Chain A
Amino acid sequence: MSFVSYLLNGISLGSVYAIIALGYTMVYGIAKMLNFAHGDVIMIGSYVVFVAVNRTGLPVPVSILLSAAVCTILGVVIERVAYKPLRHASKLAVLITAIGVSYFLQNVALLIFGADTKAFSSVVSMKPIQLADGQLNISGETIVTVAACIVIMVCLMAFIKYSKAGHAMLAVSEDGGAAQLMGINVNGTIALTFAIGSALAAVAGVLLCSTYPSLTPYTGAMPGIKAFVAAVFGGIGSIPGAFIGGILLGVIEILGKAYISSQLADAIVFSVLIIVLVVKPTGLLGKQIQEKV
């Protein structure tokens, strides 16, 4: 039974990774850049919920909406100020800027909220479900996280498949220049992608901190990087890939922690990344793109 409960924990953590990975994979698909600051947007979103619930006593749904709104604005502002001027610059420059933004967010949070760990109270009020005569205990957080992940995934795929803005996203990720010639507002589409990704990051932050209730300015960094690993694992640019990659990575991490070594869990996750990139650099569901001269 303990194996099943580890597995469920893994799927729960994996669902959070999957939601974060969506933000990475969409931005990477469209802007062809690795948004290092994505993990720190998660952290900012969690702090907003923390302040809203614990300090001002706002109801939970309102504070989650508030957090999503703050993160959306933050994401769009970051894109506009830091990334847009570098749209045609070298990849190295964009990457260094993204690292700078990530560092900036961490240190702003450090100055405002301090380095001490905040105890995040869970926003999920659902009672745990007991199965198999109380041997298997499924927490409310697990159920809500997995459900949220599935709902978000389905909505997002429907949005991209059926809405006009979704078609524009597909077109820009395929060929930005050609999309512009067809009359698509490329800058607007990229901004929309950042907005959606950041709003998802806020949701992911709340779910993550509800399951692992400690919040510091560095909370977002590691899950952010691991979610990127998940996105690469599933094939970057692919939405179902982010889902599968996220779940697999979460399960690998929790099982590794339980059966191999809790200290080496991160090392195991990162080794998975290196192995995936060496064996299949495009990930599980990624497309092979030929480079043209």
Chain B
Amino acid sequence: MKKLSKTTKSSLVTYGIVAAAYLFCEVLMRTGHMSSLLKGILVPVCIYAILAVSLNLTVGILGELSLGHAGFMCVGAFASAIFSKCMAEAIPVPLVRFILALLIGVACAGLCGVLIGIPVLRLRGDYLAIVTLAFGEIIKNLINAVYLGLDSNGFHISMKDALSLNMEEDGQIIIKGAQGITGTPSDSNFTIGVILVLLTLVIVIHLVHSRTGRAIMSIRDNRIAAESIGINITKYKMLAFSISASLAGAAGVLYAHNLATLTASSKNFGYNMSIMILVFVVLGGIGSIRGSMIAAVVLTLLPELLRFLNEYRMLIYAVVLIVTMILTWSPGAIELRERYSLAKLFHKKEKEVQ
């Protein structure tokens, strides 16, 4: 057998972890050892894992901070929910409907990524972060203000209220302003969620280890050096950003088809959500795909298992963000770490000599 390279081995381990976790959960479910509470958060776990891996593509691989990741998720969720609701009768097979909805959600989120990327990716650092944040809030605001209806004459849209849609009698309201979309068919389940997680991992890991991925990482490490060896900065930045956006859209599709009611509140698609995904990425290790997946799963499961910590959860997240950053970057901490590891190294050498 041909010997596997280190990166292939590492990615196979990642896929293996997902498969093993899936089998473990399935066995627990089949044998009836899983509480209904735990069953209820299996799909959210998948959603967060996809979000964390996709945000890591922007933050860890591209090296730009996006605070509007929940905005892309929102676009994916609403685009696909509109489709599924309109097609609920026309396409009776749930799986076919879901796949089509997924494609639409991903495409819409990706398109938004490109549209927002054109102006945003010219900026750097803090400006980019604040504009992505602004974008996320704009999306949430717009969706909360919009009313969309469908009747025999086609779509009606209004920013005021349901009455000003002027629909025929057979009309059906799809988006009801701040009340969102109700009655989306729940086409998603745990198996579909895990398949999507695997797909996300395959896409991101392949991208990172390809020539394109190396170009993206060179932009992160030194933009000017990358430009001087002929790497098209805008193209690669845009590529990474829009792929990250469309994967977030996929998570949104999963979210929309897991719940019967879809609203855009600050809890699920707002700034807080974007920060939570960022916490997953930071804690899992910026740039580590497997790390962000595991962090997302653990941090979603942990508060459910430790209910008493719920009040302090956000506080702990905040402290985790600060402490992780200081431990990784402050000169004092770096020095301490180096001394410690050197001591270990010397220790090893002494043993070898003996």
**Bound together:** yes
Q: Give A residues with C-beta under 8 Å from B.
A: 28, 33-34, 82, 85-86, 88-97, 99-101, 103-104, 106-108, 110-111, 221, 225, 228-229, 232, 261, 263-264, 266-267, 270-271, 273-274, 277-278, 281, 293
Q: Let me know if B314 and A97 touch, CB within 8 A.
A: no
CB of B138 within 8 A of CB of A103, answer: no
CA distance A111 to B142 in the complex (A): 32
Tell whether, in the assembled complex, residue B318 and residue A86 are in contact, meaning their CB atoms are under 8 Å apart: no
Seed contacts A93-B329, A97-B325, A225-B130; 12 additional CB < 8 Å A-B pairs: A85-B331, A86-B329, A93-B325, A94-B325, A100-B319, A103-B321, A111-B315, A270-B134, A273-B134, A277-B119, A277-B127, A281-B127
Q: Which residues of A contact B123 (CB under 8 A)?
A: 277, 281
Which residue of the partner chain, among B65, B126, B322, B331, contacts A100 with CB atoms under 8 Å? B322
Is there contact, CB below 8 Å, between B135 and A274? yes
Give the contacts of B126-148 with A (CB-CB under 8 A): 126-127, 129-131, 133-135, 137-138, 141-142, 144-145
User: Quick one: CB contact mask for B312-352 with A, threshold 8 Å, 1 for yes?
Assistant: 10110111111001101111110000000000000000000
Cα A110 to Cα B312 with chains together (Å):
10
- The answer to whether A103 and B331 touch (CB under 8 A), given A34-B129, A95-B129, A267-B141, is no
Q: Which B-chain residue is minimally distant from A105 (CB atoms)?
A: B318
Cα distance, A285 to B159, chains bound together (Å): 35
Residue interface mask B25-63, A partner, CB < 8 A = 1 = 000000000000000000000000000000000010001
On chain B, which size bracket covers the interface? 35 or more
Judging by beta carbons under 8 Å apart, are A100 and B318 in contact?
Answer: yes
In the bound complex, residues from chain A placing their C-beta under 8 Å from that of B330 are: 85-86, 89
Known A86-B329, A89-B330; judge A232-B321 contact (CB<8 A).
Answer: no
Asked whether A281 lies within 8 Å of B122 as measured between CB atoms, the reply is: yes
Q: Given A225-B133, A263-B141, A264-B141 in contact, is the A95-B322 Cβ separation under 8 Å? A: no
Give the residues in chain A near B129, CB-CB below 8 Å.
34, 95
Whether A86 and B325, one on each chain, are in contact in the complex, defined by CB atoms closer than 8 angstroms, is yes
Chain A residues, CB < 8 A from B317 = 103
The tally of CB-CB contacts under 8 A between chains A and B is 129
Q: Give B64's nearest chain A residue, CB to CB.
A: A92
**B positions within 8 Å CB-CB of A:** 59, 63-65, 67, 119-120, 122-123, 125-127, 129-131, 133-135, 137-138, 141-142, 144-145, 159, 178, 224, 271, 275, 278, 282, 286, 311-312, 314-315, 317-322, 325-326, 328-333
Q: Kindly provide the distance from the CB of B263 to the nearest chain A CB, expressed in whole angstroms.
A: 14
Q: How far is the CB of B68 from chain A (nearest CB, A)?
A: 10
- Give the residues in chain A near B119, CB-CB below 8 Å: 274, 277-278
Evaluate contact between A273 and B131: CB separation under 8 angstroms.
yes
- Determine which of B131, B319, B332 lies in contact with A104 in the assembled complex, contact meaning CB atoms within 8 Å: B319
A274 with B318: CB separation less than 8 A: no
Q: Is the CB of B135 within 8 A of A103?
A: no
Q: Chain B contacts of A111 at CB under 8 A? A: 311-312, 315
* B133 contacts across to A, CB distance below 8 A: 225
Chain A positions within 8 Å of B332 at CB level: 85
Q: How far is it, in angstroms, between the C-alpha of A221 and the C-alpha of B311 when the chains are bound?
A: 20
Q: Which of B64, B159, B321, B333 interacts with A96 by CB under 8 Å? A: B321
A96, B282: Cβ atoms under 8 Å?
yes
Q: Report the minimum CB–CB distance from A284 to chain B (whole Å).
A: 15
- Chain B residue numbers with a CB within 8 Å of A90 are 329
Cα of A99 to Cα of B278 in the assembled complex, Å: 10
